[in-house]
Structure 1
């Protein structure tokens, strides 16, 4: 995928993100089947007892309920949502589109997740590069997404691509960041009798190189 022009990251609504997310939304943005698929990914890739960063977090983190972690930090835009999230031991309010550098020390997390939010980042490569810094070497990121979003806040290139294109785009972001390896695309869409049911769920996994 070639270098992307700045226009690729324009949005229909360019008002400050803090304004758009000012009111808490205590809803889930994918259906139960897709949520279960996200939880299963975390079950597979997040180490039990580990230090977890939930990037672009909200009032629910979709972590497996039977697994305990030593630290779960949520970074998001709505304070009320973060305060209500029962899995978070700490939380930070930060707009990654204006401040893409993370307020954490190097190698301070064992794994990270970005759930159905990658399409809202206007500086995704910068964010993912710094995320690689704060993970331990070999630490996984699970970037999951579906075909649902807030259309006015998703970047232009996201709207122009299909599911396969989204997978390619997110892999491109990690490759461009330069400090990720073992980048793997996954289709974890719920299926019955071989046919997709409900919301699709896709993910790209990468491992930090330090």
Structure 2
């Protein structure tokens, strides 16, 4: 799915090129797919059926399980096991080479889900490396991190971004790269995390999301992985990771690519059974650098299109319909005051659509 042209000027292992991704018109995931194992409804026992009726999961049951799951997750991350032992030397080396290809000396890097090892090349000289993680314990032993923020990546303002005031205070357009290694499989609100990364990146900056194969550390981390990560395969995980870019900021991302940087498979059956090598994958995209701050009279729709990239509530298909209409309305406005009024009131579109959705229901 990656052509020779796609592979030019890219690191090894490119598997899915920018034009190969296909998306449904709306977000394709149910909330249940982001549940941890201890928050899922219990398996139905046929013996529990009374008079042929299936017992219903009550709202109180759901709330109690969620609260118990959140508490268990916090306890887990406060005593997080060491992940390095679950990654083979070959996979670590391949990941280090991949990151070294795209990171450059002098870059300002934000690492979400940072730990004791960032897998950056030892010779890399960053201008700044900010780590964000649930606890500071692992980050303290990371020699690359220059400053750290303690924040829960699953604590979000829905449809907007991370709730953490410290992360927000880093400022828009601050970082050249955002790296999030072996973290995507634990995110219960990935769109908000990706939107925060988009906000913090400079135009033209890249978000790099490496993750390990499905069973790399299942025994240690299985309880806190989301259901989609426990039940889907590695090919599906790559598509899922790409979709979080698409459904977080749409056209605000460009050059979406998927890499398989797994070490070669053993050549025979016996070696395959003995081999403990873990697969490794990367999905990454660049923040679009066409970000007009004022309306171009020759293409007013482009301005409104970028304004709608991160608009809550509106789906991609709504934005596609609205953008040219806003551009046409701006062209038809008779006065500068009328055009300014139109630009200012783009902000109320989410509230309008929120009410339309309620009416539709």
Distance 1:194 1:130, change over 3 A: farther
CA deviation profile, 1:53-89 (whole Å, cap 9, x unmatched): 1110011111110110000011011211111111100
Which residue does 1:200 correspond to in 2?
279
1:92 alignment partner, SS class: strand
Distance across 1 between alignment mates of 2:172 and 2:191: 17
Is the 2:104–2:124 contact (alpha carbons within 8 Å) kept by the matching residues of 1?
Answer: no
Q: Within 5 Å, which residues of 2 pair with 1:108-123?
A: 108-123=174-189
Is the 1:133–1:208 contact (alpha carbons within 8 Å) kept by the matching residues of 2?
Answer: no
Q: Within 5 Å, which residues of 2 pair with 1:1-210?
A: 2=24, 3-13=28-38, 14-16=69-71, 17-28=73-84, 29-99=86-156, 100-101=161-162, 102-103=167-168, 104-147=170-213, 148-149=216-217, 150-178=221-249, 179-191=252-264, 198-209=277-288
Distance across 1 between alignment mates of 2:83 and 2:257: 29
Distance across 2 between alignment mates of 1:146 and 1:47: 23
Distance 1:193 1:131, change over 3 A: same
Distance across 1 between alignment mates of 2:103 and 2:172: 18
Q: Which has the larger displacement, 91-100 or 50-59?
A: 91-100
Distance across 2 between alignment mates of 1:26 and 1:145: 16
Task: Give the structure with the higher percent strand.
Answer: 1
Distance across 2 between alignment mates of 1:11 and 1:25: 18
TM-score (norm 1): 0.92
Task: Give the structure with the higher percent helix.
Answer: 2
Q: CA deviation at 1:109?
A: 0.5
1:154 alignment partner, SS class: coil
2:222 alignment partner, SS class: coil
Distance across 1 between alignment mates of 2:131 and 2:80: 15
CA deviation profile, 1:119-173 (whole Å, cap 9, x unmatched): 0000001110110110111111111111224111111111221111000000011
Is the radius of gyration larger for structure 1 or structure 2?
2
Distance 1:146 1:24, change over 3 A: closer
Q: CA deviation at 1:49?
A: 1.0
TM-score (norm 2): 0.55
Which residue does 2:7 correspond to in 1?
none
Distance across 1 between alignment mates of 2:212 and 2:266: 21
Q: CA deviation at 1:26?
A: 4.0
Distance 1:194 1:74, change over 3 A: farther
Runs of 4+ in 1 over 3 A off after TM superposition: 24-27, 192-197
Distance 1:71 1:160, change over 3 A: same
CA deviation profile, 1:15-69 (whole Å, cap 9, x unmatched): 3333211125344141211111111111111122110111100111111101100
Unaligned stretches of 5+ residues in structure 1: none
1:125 alignment partner, SS class: helix
Distance across 2 between alignment mates of 1:62 and 1:85: 10
Is the 1:125–1:174 contact (alpha carbons within 8 Å) kept by the matching residues of 2?
Answer: yes
Higher relative contact order (CA 8 A, sep 6+): 1
